[in-house]
Amino acid sequence: MNPNWAEQRAKKAFLALEDGSVFRGYAFGAGRDTVGEVVFNTGMTGYQEILSDPSYAGQFVVMTSPELGNTGLNAADMESAELYANGLIVHDLNGSSSWRAEESLAKSLVRHGKPGLAGIDTRALTVKIRTRGSLKGYMAVSGGISPEDAIEKAVAWEGLDGQDYASRVTCPAPWEWDESGELTRSWGIADTLPPADMRLVAYDYGIKRNILRSLRLAGFAVTVVPARTPAEDVLAMKPDGVFLSNGPADPAPLGYAVEASRALLGKVPIMGICLGHQILALATGAKTYRLKFGHHGCNHPVKNLRTGRVEITSQNHNFAADVDTLDASVIEITHLNLNDRTVEGIAHRIEPMFSVQYHPEACPGPHDSRYLFENFREMIAGT
């Protein structure tokens, strides 16, 4: 499954950034030039789950781990049916050697129409992003454009701010999650599943399969609905609880989601994560803002202010809730990021609602935060 390295490295390519910088390397994956927001991910592994996470739509992911590709890709570890990241940037590209690999990283990118760029000085690129912030870029892998024109295209692209990407990645119609085959293939625990004795409606702003698996393991029967589903349609399903999922890009333009969440608040218990957390913050009167370079990786320390415990968490977001706009008489801050002191969790002081900025299903990542799904069950049971 290893590529012809001499032939591969002959495919000269480059990344052009909006600030005029050009990073040169060689192309792999699909031979398609495209734009994207360049972010770095500090995970040591998990590139398959990252690429197939709809939250990465519109982004070029720079992996800070120097070698990628060893584990290949397989159907069981996909977080969705396709690859959503606009492109992948790595330092060294390896062929796959894992016994679980069903396809190489390069071949999978080709099949999904996603470009890749290797041979890049990812350390220098990461330092630039940390210094300047997330940057718009143009990945030139086809050989048909000059660096000057590529820079112009990066500057001209509208970017992710103010863009509704949740509507681009959501499901087209409501559907029921069937856990049996998924859990058998991925976790091998279908025989030990608890009864699904609570009915849950999950808003799909870019939901991952392992979130659905985690909800099923907590005893929820899950119906997934599109991002624009009105609150009255959800309430007509008579759920025991409502879940707001992760998703890509900027929460500010998702007025339909904020309106639905506000209408559901107080009528049914609600849990949100990632983009869902930001939507709930907006629904309770707060504002959101763009982080300098976002949180992307599976090693972010978060303190649970209620218990005093520190969790190592998996994160992927470029926006955060503004602590100065949260109404302390209504909202309790429950979790805090120990790197930059940003808000990582909130809870309503009156209504049954809580949310976290990070990914408690953590695929990839540590399982420190899996307890939150059980906390949601307990909240519903006590309502």
The string of DSSP letters for 183-218 reads HHHHTS-GGGPPP--EEEEEEESS--HHHHHHHHHT
Catalytic residues: 274, 359, 361
Q: How many residues are listed for the chain in this entry?
A: 383
| Calpha distance 376→197 (Å, rounded) | 14
Residue 219 has φ and ψ, to the nearest 5°, of: 95, 20
Question: Do 33 and 140 form a contact (C-beta atoms < 8 A)?
Answer: yes
| Calpha distance 335→356 (Å, rounded) | 7
Sign for the pseudo-dihedral over CA of 306, 290, 376, 214: negative
Question: Do 275 and 357 form a contact (C-beta atoms < 8 A)?
Answer: no
| Calpha distance 278→97 (Å, rounded) | 40
| Calpha distance 260→23 (Å, rounded) | 43
The string of DSSP letters for 7-32 reads HHHTSEEEEEETTS-EEEEEEEE---
Closest CA to 368 of 307, 296, 318, 293: 307
Question: What is the CB neighbour count within 10 angstroms for residue 233?
Answer: 14
Q: Which residues contact 364 (CB under 8 A, 6 or more apart)?
A: 43, 45, 46, 49, 50, 298, 314
| Calpha distance 339→337 (Å, rounded) | 6
Check whether the bond before 366 is cis (ω within 30° of 0): no
